[in-house]
Chain A
């Protein structure tokens, strides 16, 4: 920008002002952050711009909020922190966004360029630290470079396979000044990609494979939401009558109530989905990356199936599962190339075969068991969904989960019909994610009902953000699934470590009192009949509300695939579950 001839016409702004002006130009009106010494010039300039700053209680919360904001809105989320500890506290949230390909831009203050590398007070090499967990990062040492860098960062974060980008800005760059023009700071066209266009020969091969297939299956992943390809996937599935299984992050991209929808696949996926994958003769992987939680043992994964992999990131091709046909490119564009060539089919034999497998699973399903006076997490989550449906709010509800057993129960028993209605940390599995991410989601979508579903363990990791909810006046509903254990750890210890419950029992404060200390209303629920009334009360209160669900202590998530086992070798819920027949029942 400094080199352009007409710099005199542009207003002279400080680096800090340039940052805000560029953010505003990119359409940012909400940022999540925490001030500190090396970023004070930026905070000083904030009041001049129409951007609302949400003060977090810990910088990890800021990166999770930007993440939740991006997942709920599809826009780029922005968070900021000061140098040193502020920057390092962002790291977990950045890695979470990286593993789930979420576009966020993180801005950190940095010590002055003159003392860079001298171990100055609160100096840390944050571009070095975040190198492997960002899509790209920048160190900016001059005011005149800020606008161009920020615009490039937004482009990098949102383009191709999205991801987090960090910009580290030295204090002298914030304080310096330069002429500012948003237009002239526009980045050059995104670099061309040699592989980013499905070849027509591959398209033909894919069509041939689909025509020959008798037992095809669509594996629907997060890429569908990123690409906005929900309608194309639906058209594709309906045209060929191909059943659709979802990854955890793919939930919501295909309507659950559709006859072709099978539900979630993988480690805690539905049994009939995993069996269908193992018996399929063709897998159509749409924007998913064959994560180990989805495939089980790779050697025995879908042994009879050809694989068509549609993926925007060429480095994912043949990484875990070898593709017979790889179509590299944007999913929606690729499906639009395929759709006109796709013959219609009404062969439903394969679908009927899969549906027949559901009967056995239903018998074992905890949802179908009569009320025995005990409260199960699965019931709580199913009732939260039913309550939203009954109120006609199912398309306007976002559920943000933490990580662990409750996350899997949510994926199984909350039936997501709408894209972006489930926000969860899939790739990194970050406990403590739910509460701050829900704040980001609520800020992005204030008209929607936002539910936090968190365990008693993960909730305590970031519970300090309750205070942020109150300061921002956000009506967020919180369901703490409280079983007194780090439940998933306990389940693994039960299954693989001889019930040696090392460090998995966890003591919690009275969460309702904790909420009350923040000025948030709450309720304790330990009976099934009290679940729905409490949920309705929370949803209609118009304010934040916390419900502590005291659930069965040693319940397990089923089905379950042991690590290293094949996808069809599922551990099923014991039919005579000792939990369901306790002495209290007699």
Chain B
């Protein structure tokens, strides 16, 4: 079965190797792994999805916690958490498509139904962006393919998970969270602006939301 773990880890060189190496040692295949910044400075947040027997969950979680770089580990199930994935899909569409100019408008319709957004338009291709559960993304990909379109590229981030409600783990409380004694403030403002990737095309579409 699929297990989803959320690990808060130090933001240092080599941390990804330590986490990945643990799964390699246990001979467990990682289905997806996303890493990014979290709400606290110098702590990264990983969402790891792996295929393993049901009884393996405790051991994986405890082994993850054994890593010295780990601040906290949580295992989340489908019901208790919001699990999302971001996907970019590039589809061949344009004047030279068999459907001609209509090929684009049909893609736009499909995108609308699935609440995907058009984020790039080139003479012979359309790029869609979509967030949602994995099944929804797979549904869109399937419909595009079955409608006779050629998918040129797919890039999926893998799942990200966050528990619903005002849940905070015991460890986070101990470390000082909005629930604990010491409120933590996100540290994003302190980061150098030059690190941000600019995406002007996306800004145009921002109002649609």
Contact = CB atoms under 8 A, between A and B. Distances in A.
Contacts of A136: 67-69
B62 A131 contact: no
B68 A317 contact: no
Contact of A131 (B13, B21, B63, B71): B21
A194 B61 CA distance: 11
A135 B14 CA distance: 14
The residue among A128, A313, A314, A317 with the most chain B CB atoms within 10 A of its own CB is A314
Interface stretch (B32-40, B144-152, B169-177, B197-205): B169-177
Contacts of A314: 58, 62, 65
A314 B75 CA distance: 15
A314 B73 CA distance: 13
A194 B17 contact: no
A194 B171 contact: yes
B66 interface: yes
A315 B71 contact: no
Contacts of B171: 191-194
A319 interface: yes
A132 B17 CA distance: 10
Contact of B169 (A131, A194, A317): A194
A156 B68 CA distance: 8
B59 interface: yes
B21 to A, nearest CB: 6
Nearest to B67: A136
B14 A127 contact: yes
Contact of B58 (A132, A191, A192, A317): A317
A116 B95 CA distance: 53
Contacts of B175: 192
A195 B72 contact: no
Contacts of A191: 71, 171
B55 interface: yes
B18 interface: yes
A318 interface: yes
Contacts of B68: 135-136, 156
B17 A131 contact: yes
A319 B59 contact: yes
A193 B65 CA distance: 8
A194 B58 contact: no
Nearest to A134: B68
Interface in B42-98: 55, 58-59, 62-63, 65-69, 71-72
Given A132-B21, A314-B62, A315-B66, A194 B170 contact: yes
25 contacts: A128-B17, A131-B17, A132-B25, A135-B68, A136-B67, A136-B68, A139-B13, A139-B14, A191-B71, A192-B170, A192-B171, A192-B174, A192-B175, A193-B65, A193-B171, A194-B72, A194-B169, A194-B170, A194-B171, A195-B62, A314-B62, A315-B63, A315-B66, A317-B62, A318-B55
Interface of B: 13-14, 17-18, 21, 25, 55, 58-59, 62-63, 65-69, 71-72, 169-171, 174-175
Interface of A: 127-128, 131-132, 135-136, 139, 156, 191-195, 313-315, 317-319
